[in-house]
Structure 1
Amino acid sequence: MIVMSRGRPRRKPIRRVVGAASVAALVLSGLSFATPAHAEGEVPILGQAWTTSNEDTAETRMDVVISVHGVRRVEGATMVYWSVGYTPDSTSGSDFRQLVMAFGSGSSLSPPRSGTEFMGDVAVIDLPGRKAYTTLYKGDTVYDCLCNTWTQILPEVPEPGTAYVNAAALPQIPGGMDTVTVRVAGQIIPDVPVEDGPMLPIAKEWPIPVGKGWPRVKTDAINDIEDPSAFIVPLTTHKVIEDSALSERSDAESRSLDLSADVLFEVDEATLSGKAKREIKAAAKTVKEADATGTLRVTGHTDSSGEAGYNQSLSTRRAESVAKALEPLLPSGVRLTTSGRGESEPIASNETDEGKTLNRRVTITLPKEQ
């Protein structure tokens, strides 16, 4: 059972270790701190976040708590152990799909793939190294996630006040990382300590309520992955420029300016809207301030709605429209090339409206030396 206050706190990190016989105290209000070390049979709570299902209504209450129990170095991988469940005062009878609807906008950290699993939205973030270690997949479908699917870890009707355990396998993190930031189920949990070895005891049956054991580490599946480094992605910075539809992303290798296609164009159109002039002028100003020279790439992108062939054509035409308007505003030494990527290079999840909005963009990429 989970016990918490009747209010609706959000994202309060907690470090607490509770005995298996006192799992009723798993969720507490306020902050408390303890060492990460724990005795056999105890349940470590290294961080928590509260959120609400987007299917919550005036008649129903679907508060959800997400807890991180461990970040562990094991042979060949890093394991993140975590749990999710309805709070005790949530409405009874809500099914597991509604619980998963509390997971936020989905992760844009994982490499683009055709299939993603809600329970695979896990990453260990190395802020100083500007990298994210993301859930491993042995193939390209949701069933290839080195984690367990939501249908495995959650009962059809989760019991309010009970949290259910999962684990995800990530690439090995550097040996010097003693604390990390964890992204899990759309939530950010900072300052989580890193320990060695799998969590014990191993549970024999699914689903696993908190206090009844931990998932088995899938070491055989980890060994089947040819290139775990493909699941280590650069962590980018992202800021809005001049309170406009222009934003900037940068990592260790490149600097990009994203223009929102929703501001530049009408739906399914490639002709610039009346609002586009201001945004393109802001982009030109940023390019000038960066003293950019040489060739800049202008690339159109869409979300995943519609046919892939149509999206490819639309993204190409939109890139050409932006380049035509941008070129006269740039110094003579700057040249532009254009291309379209359609829906193939998302920067956010296409499973939500928010993510689709971010993916509909025209990107201006500055030369790497800038």
Structure 2
Amino acid sequence: MGRVTGWERRVARPATVAGAATALLLLGALGPVEAADRIPIADVFEITIPVDDGRGVAHYEGAIHGAYRTDDATVLYWSLRAAKDSGADLRTVFEHEDVDLVGGVLADPRSLDVLLPLRDDAGCLCTEADDLDPSQDPYTFQVMYTAFPRIPADTTAIDVDVDGRGTIVAGVPVSNILPAGQQRDRASVVLGRGWPAVPSEERVEQVAVRDPLDLVGRAGAGDGSVTTEGTGADRLVRFDADVLFAFDRSDLSAQAQQVLESAIAEIEAAGELGRIEVVGHTDGQGTAEHNQTLSVARARTVADAMRAALGEDLHVDVEGRGWDEPIATNDTEEGRAKNRRVTISYETAGGDR
């Protein structure tokens, strides 16, 4: 059985700030009657991915509409578009090597089993890049589907991994009644014009259900994402940036606050503090300028959290080093994850740094 780490590291923001804007855009694409009567929206999300076309990153907006239990499967409906005026192409996010769109659902928090999309010899039972309507511009919301194994009858809500990078939409309701307006032989549909048809019963029956993945690392700090090095007066605490920040962002999540508070408590318990330095690092994706700015912003966020906990008069040196000091290869996702980090180095009073 495989293992998945970091399910709760990056939670899709509910409809506040940018999330609310996405919800309004979704509803604005429809007439008021359609929006109210035909388009369920469980939650909205945003995806940011690195690209090599000079922009550094590409932005996408989407929604999870709901999960629907059929006789043989669970069908998840979701929609996606490129952010308005972003210059992004919708196919790019489907084909990006580090993105797995709607690649797993957590159906039972007690077992921590992550269900994977159904697959047969022809591929996944889901919308893929070739299914997109080429006549639509990338800024038009297109509704997609992904089919998963049938979840238990007593399951009323699931959590959805939106991008395979830890962006989670939690609490998606499960219904036993498919929405009206199934479009025969269509794997994607423009939002407001119906829903992609679910896989046939015959096709689902031919699918070999894959073993669920065992979900580990829900607390973040117990999986090697926070490490402490050094003894005596000189210490260094290293945080996985993926634990603290969503991709390409520098604001802390609620979970990150807990992880930081625990580490700061240990620092405070070490005694009177001498010099403190917070340094942000990024991976090798995007542009050097963008990564430098991001690394500084993340280091400042951590420094601000330390001052809030230990006193505003605490002196903290803040620095960002962008992608200049990798500790692993940037050629693999595992290596890039190691390079995305924030370190706190400190000495207790009287120690030599």
Which TM-score applies when normalising by structure 1?
0.48
Separation of aligned partners in 2, 1:176 and 1:185 = 26
- The alignment status of 1:212 with 2:215, answered yes or no, reads no
Alpha-carbon shift at residue 207 of structure 1 (Å):
4.1
Cα distance, 1:352–1:164 mapped onto 2, change above 3 Å: farther
Query: Does structure 2 conserve the Cα–Cα contact (< 8 Å) formed by 1:69 and 1:81?
Result: yes
Counterpart AA for 1:243: T
Alpha-carbon shift at residue 146 of structure 1 (Å):
1.1
Cα distance, 1:65–1:136 mapped onto 2, change above 3 Å: same
1:98 match: 92
- 1:124-139 pair list within 5 angstroms: 124-139=106-121
- 1:239-250 pair list within 5 angstroms: 239-240=223-224, 243=227
Secondary structure of 1:44's match? coil
Separation of aligned partners in 1, 2:331 and 2:62 = 20
- The alignment status of 1:43 with 2:39, answered yes or no, reads yes
1:310 match: none
Separation of aligned partners in 2, 1:177 and 1:223 = 22
Separation of aligned partners in 2, 1:51 and 1:210 = 18
- 1:224-239 pair list within 5 angstroms: 224-226=206-208, 228=209, 230-237=210-217, 239=223
1:151 match: 130
Secondary structure of 2:203's match? helix
Alpha-carbon shift at residue 197 of structure 1 (Å):
2.4
1:166 match: 144
CA shift digits 1:277-299 (9 cap, x unpaired):
xxxxxxxxxxxxxxxxxxxxxxx
Unaligned stretches of 5+ residues in structure 1: 1-9, 17-21, 28-37, 107-117, 246-350, 360-370
Query: Does structure 2 conserve the Cα–Cα contact (< 8 Å) formed by 1:105 and 1:355?
Result: no
- 1:161-310 pair list within 5 angstroms: 161-186=139-164, 187-204=167-184, 205=186, 207-218=188-199, 219-226=201-208, 228=209, 230-237=210-217, 239-240=223-224, 243=227
Query: Does structure 2 conserve the Cα–Cα contact (< 8 Å) formed by 1:122 and 1:168?
Result: no
- Higher normalized contact order (CA 8 Å, seq sep 6+, divided by chain length): 2
Alpha-carbon shift at residue 122 of structure 1 (Å):
3.6
Alpha-carbon shift at residue 181 of structure 1 (Å):
0.8
Secondary structure of 2:120's match? coil
Cα distance, 1:355–1:220 mapped onto 2, change above 3 Å: farther
Cα distance, 1:180–1:241 mapped onto 2, change above 3 Å: closer
Secondary structure of 1:43's match? coil
Secondary structure of 2:333's match? helix
Query: Does structure 1 conserve the Cα–Cα contact (< 8 Å) formed by 2:94 and 2:128?
Result: no
Cα distance, 1:352–1:133 mapped onto 2, change above 3 Å: farther
Q: Percent identity?
A: 21
Query: Does structure 2 conserve the Cα–Cα contact (< 8 Å) formed by 1:104 and 1:185?
Result: no
- 1:16-165 pair list within 5 angstroms: 23-25=26-28, 41-55=37-51, 62-91=58-87, 94-100=88-94, 105-106=98-99, 118-119=100-101, 121-139=103-121, 143-155=122-134, 159-165=137-143
Cα distance, 1:243–1:154 mapped onto 2, change above 3 Å: farther
Query: Does structure 2 conserve the Cα–Cα contact (< 8 Å) formed by 1:89 and 1:160?
Result: no
Secondary structure of 1:97's match? helix
Q: Alpha carbon RMSD of aligned pairs, Å?
A: 3.8
Alpha-carbon shift at residue 104 of structure 1 (Å):
8.2
Alpha-carbon shift at residue 356 of structure 1 (Å):
6.2
CA shift digits 1:81-129 (9 cap, x unpaired):
11111122322xx43333436x7834xxxxxxxxxxx556243442222
Query: Does structure 1 conserve the Cα–Cα contact (< 8 Å) formed by 2:82 and 2:90?
Result: no
Query: Does structure 2 conserve the Cα–Cα contact (< 8 Å) formed by 1:171 and 1:231?
Result: no
Query: Does structure 1 conserve the Cα–Cα contact (< 8 Å) formed by 2:115 and 2:213?
Result: yes
Query: Does structure 2 conserve the Cα–Cα contact (< 8 Å) formed by 1:69 and 1:82?
Result: yes
Separation of aligned partners in 2, 1:180 and 1:11 = 14
CA shift digits 1:37-60 (9 cap, x unpaired):
x99951111012112231276658
Secondary structure of 1:222's match? helix
Counterpart AA for 1:152: D
